[in-house]
Structure 1
Amino acid sequence: MSDSFFKKENAKKKAKKKQEKALKRVDRKTNNNKGQSLESMYAYVDENGVITSTPPDKSNRKEVNLDGILLGARPIVREEAKPNTGVITFYSDKGYGFVTDDETKTNVFFHSNDLIMPVNLKDKVTYDIKTTPRGDNAINLKIIQ
C-alpha cells in the first residue's frame, strides 16, 4: 500500500532537518575557534567608549589627580557674612520654639538653653545657625531693639 500525502511530507521534512543538521556540524568543524591565542580574543575600549581590536594609544593619555575626586555629597559651605534675623513665631512653656527667618521664610528650631537673653513671642531677633543631625538650630538668640 502506498504512503499518504502527509506521511510523504513528514518524511521530506525529517530528511531536510537531518541534512541541515549535518551541514551545521561540518560548518562548526571547519570554523572552529578553539585554540586561538589569548591576545586575538582581547577587546579594547577607547576614550569615546567604542570597542576596538587595537590597543589604545598611550601617548594621548591624560593624568588624573586622585585627590581632586570627591566621593559622596559635597559639603555645604555657609556664608557667615551677615547675621541671620527673624521673628519668633512659636515659643512653648517647655523651653523650645521656632524662629521664622526674614529672608528664606523657613522655621528654625531653638531651645531655651541657647538663649542669651529672655525672649517672647513675636520678638525680632538675631541668631547664629548650628547644624545638628536633626537639622539646623538657632543659637545665641538676641533681641533687636
Structure 2
Amino acid sequence: MARPQETYSKKEKEKKRLKKREEKQKKKELRKAQSKGGGLDNMLVYVDENGHFTDTPPDPSKKVKVDAESIVIGVPKKVEEEIDPIHQGKVSFFDHSKGFGFILDNLDQEKYFVHVSGLIDEIEENDKVSFELEKGMKGLNAVRVKKI
C-alpha cells in the first residue's frame, strides 16, 4: 500500500485546524473562569405584581388565594343576540349590464354586495332600500332588496 502524500497545503490546513481548536478551548476556559457560577439561583427571574421582571422573589404577604373550582375552562357559549334582520341602506353603485352592485348600510356604514338575483324591486344608484343579509362565498351579501 502506498503512503498518503502529505503536501504543504495539507500541513498548513492541519495546523490551522489545530490552532482553531486550541483557541476555542482557551475561550471556553476563559468563559468558565469569568462566570459567576451559583447554579440555578442566579438564572431565575421573577415577575412582580406589575408584570416587570425582577431578580428578587415576590413578597409572600401579597399572595392571592385563587379558588381552583371558580376557574372556567373552555370557550363560553356564544349568546345569540336578537338583531333586526332587515337592514336599511343606500345603493352606492349598481351596474345593470353586469347585474351587481353595492349597498351602504345606514347603521355601520358597511358595504354589502348585491346581485340582481337578490332583488325584489328594480333599483338605481342613490335609492334608499331595505335588505336582509346572507352569507355568501366572500362575505355577507344583501338579499331580498326592496325600495323604500
Q: Which protein shows a greater Rg?
A: 1
Normalising by structure 1, we get a TM-score of 0.47
